[in-house]
Structure 1
Amino acid sequence: MPRTTRLQDLIRELRHHTGPIGGPELAERLGITLRTLYQDVAALRAVGVEVVNAPGQGYVLPPDVVLPPAALAEPAPREPAELTFYTNPLSRGGIVHWMLEELGVPYRTVTLEYGAAMKSPDYLALNPMGKVPAIRHGDVVVTEAAAICAYLADAFPEAGLAPPPAARGDYYRWLFFAAGPLEAALSLNTLGVQPTAEQQRQLGCGDYWTVIETLAGALEGRRHIAGTAFSAADVYVGSHLGWGMYFGTIPRRPEFEAYWAGLKDRPARARCEAFVEQALSPLA
Structure 2
Amino acid sequence: MISLEEKKLQGHKHKLLAFEKRRAQISGTKNVNVNYNVFAFCQIPAFKHGDNIVNESAAACLYLEFKSQGNKLIPDTAAEQAVMYQRMMEGLTLTEKLNSTIYYEWFIPEQERHESAVRRNREALTAELKLWEGYLQNFPPFGLCIQVAAGSYLAGAFSLADVIVFPNIACALRFGPSVERYPKLAKYYSLLKDRPSIKNTWPPHWLPSPQGYDTLKNI
TM norm structure 1? 0.51
1:272 aligns to 2:201 (yes or no): yes
1:148 aligns to 2:60 (yes or no): yes
SS of residue matched to 1:162:
coil
- Asked if the contact 1:171/1:225 (under 8 Å) is kept, the reply is yes
Give RMSD over aligned pairs.
Answer: 3.3
- Asked if the contact 2:48/2:54 (under 8 Å) is kept, the reply is yes
* Deviation sequence 1:71-128 (CA, Å, 0-9, x none): xxxxxxxxxxxxxxxxxxxxxxxxxx2221111112321425433331458369x999
Paired AA for residue 163 in structure 1:
P
Which runs of no fewer than 5 residues in structure 1 stay unpaired?
Answer: 1-96, 201-205
1:232 aligns to 2:160 (yes or no): yes
Would you identify which runs of 4 or more consecutive aligned residues in structure 1 move more than 6 Å? 126-129
1:101 aligns to 2:29 (yes or no): no
Identity of paired residues, percent?
Answer: 25
- Asked if the contact 1:123/1:130 (under 8 Å) is kept, the reply is no
Q: CA 1:187/1:251 → structure 2, altered by over 3 Å: closer, same or farther?
A: farther
Paired AA for residue 167 in structure 2:
S
* Deviation sequence 1:216-263 (CA, Å, 0-9, x none): 11122131111x210121122111111210122x54211101111110
Paired AA for residue 50 in structure 2:
G
1:202-241 map, 5 Å: 207-220=124-137, 221=139, 222=145, 223-226=152-155, 228-241=156-169
Out of 36, 45, 48, the position equivalent to 1:136 is: 48
Distance 2:162 2:27 in 1: 31
Higher relative helix content: 1
1:115 aligns to 2:115 (yes or no): no
Q: CA 1:210/1:247 → structure 2, altered by over 3 Å: closer, same or farther?
A: closer
- Asked if the contact 1:117/1:123 (under 8 Å) is kept, the reply is no
SS of residue matched to 1:116:
helix
* Deviation sequence 1:144-182 (CA, Å, 0-9, x none): 212222222x22244211112623111111111111x21
SS of residue matched to 2:30:
helix
Cα shift at 1:136:
1.4
Question: How many correspondences in the alignment?
Answer: 170
Q: CA 1:120/1:184 → structure 2, altered by over 3 Å: closer, same or farther?
A: same
Distance 2:43 2:77 in 1: 31
2:183 — aligned with what?
A: 254
Which runs of no fewer than 5 residues in structure 2 stay unpaired?
Answer: 33-37, 105-114, 140-144, 146-151, 209-219
Cα shift at 1:134:
1.6
- Asked if the contact 2:97/2:125 (under 8 Å) is kept, the reply is yes
Q: Choose between structure 1 and 2 for higher RCO, CA contacts under 8 A separated by at least 6 residues.
A: 2
Q: Decide which structure has the larger Cα Rg and report it.
A: 1
Q: CA 1:171/1:209 → structure 2, altered by over 3 Å: closer, same or farther?
A: same
2:99 — aligned with what?
A: 187
Paired AA for residue 116 in structure 1:
A
